[in-house]
Every structure is written in C-alpha cells, then in structure tokens.
Structure 1
Amino acid sequence: MVFPVLLLCFLIGCVAGLRSMMAPAIVCAAAYLRWIHLDGTPLSFLNTMPALCLFTLFAIGELIADKLPKTPARTAPIGLIARIVTGGLSGAALALSAGKSTLAGIMLGAAGGIAGAFAGYYIRHGLVTQTKLPDFVVAVVEDLLAISGGLFLVSRM
C-alpha cells in the first residue's frame, strides 16, 4: 500500500507528539539505512552515524524520563515546543526525501506533533483512570506504539 507522502509527514509528527525524540531518531535510522534519501539536502546530516547516535541516545533518555513521577506533561510549553520542532524536522526530512515541499513537510510534521501530544496525553490519562492500569504499563505500550508506528511510517517511503 502506498501512502501519500504528506500524510506520512503528519503521522511522523504524531510520533513526535508521543515521544519527541523518537521521530527524529527513527528518521535518522531510516536515512542512515538509505530507506529515505537526504543526500544533497539541507538535512543530509541526518544520515550520519553521529546524528543517529545522538538522536537515539536522546530517544532512550526520553523513554526513561517519561516514566519518572516528576516529568512534566507533554502538553506543558517546553514539551509541546519540543514536539513541534522535532515533528517539523521529521516531517521536513520525509518531504525532502520524496521531493515534496519542505515547508509543507515542516507544517504537517509540526501539526502532527501538536495533535500527537494532546491525543497521547488524553488517551493515556483516560486509559489509566478508566481501566485502573498502572501508568507505567500504559506508558510502555505507548512507547511500543511510537517505535513501531514510526518504523512503519518510514518503511512506507
């Protein structure tokens, strides 16, 4: 099944909304593995081993930090801004790879970052309160969804 590239830009932004560093880490992995092609673009640095290592470390750190009780909500200004920026970056990379409008990729990725942040927050909160599942369990499922969803999206490029 072929997905429209601009839809993928929005959806990778949604991944950033769930876990802000996961989307760029997955985009770096896809670029490094040549699933997407960023050579000769302003984002060609994303297909380097240093970028892949850095974003992967940030993503792992975020997976750990998300489980801590003092971690602020993703909808708080600093978390939301991070999701907008990383969603926009990730969306731009997918758009550039497909030869589409960089601005459209940025805007759709950023919009996905906002949508994913609020949807993820309310769905997680609702699941914890309605099902009485521990937050940790719901958070791990959310992690797995962000990782598998992000990998699925970049594999459609």
Structure 2
Amino acid sequence: MTTIILALLIGSVAGLRTMTAPAAIAWAARLGFLPLGGTGLAVLGYRFTPFLLTALALAEFVTDQLPSTPSRTVPVQCGARLASGALCGAAIGLPAGSLAGGIVAGVVGAVIGTLGGAAARGRLAAAFGRDRPAAFIEDAVAIIGAAAIVGALP
C-alpha cells in the first residue's frame, strides 16, 4: 500500500512540475534507493540520466516563468505531465511487484497535481496580485515533495 501512495504522490509532483519527478526518481535510482537495475527502467539510474533530467527540471523552472508558456491544462502540457507521472509511478511500483498499480497511481496523481496545482497557483497569484511568487511556492512544493517522497522509499 505504501508503494501505491508514494506512486500517487510522485505523480502529483509530476502534475506540478513535469521534469522534477523524473529527476528525483533518477537520482533515487542512481544512488541505490530505488533498485531498477535489470529492468526496463534501469536507464533512469544510468550515470548521466540524473544530470540530464535535473538540467531539464531546472530549465522547466525558468520557462514556467515566461509569459509565453502555455497552461498546464492544454493537451500537450497535460499529456507530458501524465506521461511523467506514469513513468515515475512505474519506477516506484516495479521493485515492489506492482508495475500496473504504480502506473495507475502515478497517472491519477498527475491529474490531481495538474488540476489542483493550477487551481492553487491561480488562487495564490490572485492573493499576491501577480503570478511569480505563486510559481516560486509551487516550485518549492514540487522540490520538497519530490525529496520527501524519495526519502520515504522502502
């Protein structure tokens, strides 16, 4: 059951920031917290994968601030978040023998993170009178959440 909850939570992080969740999972795999060796997801623990995904996550933090960045609810953005949630959920579920459950929980979490994150950020932006502080809070929630989830892996 813990596996499914962690997959749901990492999916929620993917809904907030598409690349933060896979970056955290890649670091967990690389550092040995998530045993993916010998599986189809072993690539997440390869030498350069965590660095590449971290760079993409950092780029996402920057591009999220641009006024030209589309809403997370448009099909391409939403689809990427769902795929990220599925991948990360699968990575958490696979070592526990719950691949399908991990995928489903990751996707459900990504939906929750995408829609809930958009609503929360909208309310925060309205309260602040501008979006940037709300975006920074969302970044912090995604980073801290991902680190906590990786730290809770069995």
Residue of structure 1 equivalent to 2:50? 52
Distance 1:35 1:127 in 2: 34
Residue in structure 2 matching 1:106, options 97, 103, 107 = 103
Q: Percent identity between the aligned chains?
A: 38
Unaligned 5+ runs, structure 1: none
* 8 Å contact kept, 2:11–2:107: yes
Residue of structure 2 equivalent to 1:92? 90
Residue of structure 2 equivalent to 1:126? 123
Residue in structure 1 matching 2:21, options 23, 29, 39 = 23
Secondary structure, in 3 states, of the residue corresponding to 1:81?
A: helix
Report which stretch shifted further, 70-79 or 47-56. Answer: 47-56
Could you list the structure 1 runs, at least 4 aligned residues long, displaced by more than 3 angstroms after superposition.
Answer: none
Residue of structure 2 equivalent to 1:10? 8
Q: Calculate the aligned-residue CA RMSD, in Å.
A: 1.1
Q: Is 2:138 aligned against 1:142?
A: yes
Residue in structure 1 matching 2:35, options 26, 34, 37 = 37
Distance 1:100 1:29 in 2: 21
> 1:108: Cα distance to partner?
0.9
> 1:134: Cα distance to partner?
2.6
* Per-residue CA distance 1:90-147 (angstroms, 9 max, x = gap): 00001113x2311111111011111100000001001111x13431111011101100
Q: Calculate the TM-score normalised by the size of structure 2.
A: 0.95
Distance 1:101 1:29 in 2: 21
Distance 1:72 1:60 in 2: 17
Aligned residues: 153
Q: Calculate the TM-score normalised by the size of structure 1.
A: 0.94
Residue of structure 1 equivalent to 2:114? 117
